[in-house]
Structures are given as C-alpha cells and as structure tokens.
C-alpha cells in the first residue's frame, strides 16, 4: 500500500484557491520571523524597564516631576512588553498549530479561517466572525 505524502493540509474558504507549498512556507516563515522579532522586542523592553526601576528606587528625594515622568515611561514600557508578549503568544500558538497540522481552522467554531485572512494575519487562530464576536465581549 502506498501512503500519500504526509502533507499539511490547511483548509480554505469556499471560492479560495488551495494553498500552494510556497504560500504555506511563506506563512510559516512569517510566524517564525514574528516570534524572533517579538522575543527581541521583549528582551530590549525588559532591559529598559529594569533600568527605569533602578532609577526609580535610587531617586528618593528627587523632583516629583522627574518621578512622574519615570513612572509614565515605566507604564508605557510595561504595556509595550505586555503587548509584545500577547503577540508572541499568538504567533507561537499559530506555529504550533501549523506544525501539528491544525493550522487554518478556527479554534472557536472549527470552520476554515480562510486563506486571504491568514496571508494578512498569519497569527490568526480564529475566523473573522468569531474574532469580531470575541472583541465585542
């Protein structure tokens, strides 16, 4: 008995062309690239954050305006890190789905996410309507 090639089949929506190997390779590359970029961004932001915390603690008796701006920078830096972590998490989840052959299926409703959407947002793990419903919550 001959087995068909063990190939990742990523579903598409009605009317979309099936994925080509090149397109799939591109999407995977995007995910890997995103993960690396996010890890770098987080490392940089955490270094900056550590510096800001240092400045914040040694600054007893400093001008309150300075303390205020350090706090502001710190908050900004922290939301940046949080944001990057979320994106990293999404990209890692998508890559894991890709490598286990579950990529491209909406995690909420089980329908195909759609090729057009994944080409633009390789990190997407939900179809457009589920995503919109989630965001409205």
Give contact residues for Zn ion (rule: CB under 5 A). 106, 108-109, 127, 130
Contact 43, 78 (CB under 8 A): no
Shortest CB 5 distance to Zn ion, Å: 29
Query: How far is C-alpha 42 from the geometric centre of its chain's CA atoms?
Result: 12
Q: For Zn ion, which is the closer residue by CB, 80 or 108?
A: 108
Q: Which is nearer to Zn ion, 42 or 94 (CB)?
A: 94
Distance of CA 91 to the CA centre of its chain: 4
What's the gap between Cα 89 and its chain centre? 5
Q: Which is nearer to Zn ion, 9 or 109 (CB)?
A: 109
Supply the minimum distance, in Å, between the C-beta of residue 132 and Zn ion.
Answer: 10
């Amino acid at each position: 008995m001959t087995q068909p090639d063990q190939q990742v089949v990523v579903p598409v929506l009605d009317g979309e062309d099936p994925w080509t190997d090149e397109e799939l390779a591109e999407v995977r590359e995007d995910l890997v690239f995103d993960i690396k970029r996010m890890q770098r961004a987080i490392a940089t932001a955490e270094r900056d954050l550590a510096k800001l915390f240092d400045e914040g603690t040694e600054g007893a008796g400093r001008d309150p305006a300075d303390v205020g701006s350090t706090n502001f920078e710190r908050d900004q830096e922290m939301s940046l890190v949080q944001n990057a972590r979320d994106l990293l998490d999404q990209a890692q989840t998508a890559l894991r789905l890709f490598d286990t052959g579950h990529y491209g299926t909406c995690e909420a409703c089980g329908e195909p996410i759609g090729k057009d959407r994944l080409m633009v947002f390789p990190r997407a793990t939900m179809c457009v309507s589920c995503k919109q419903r989630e965001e409205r919550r």
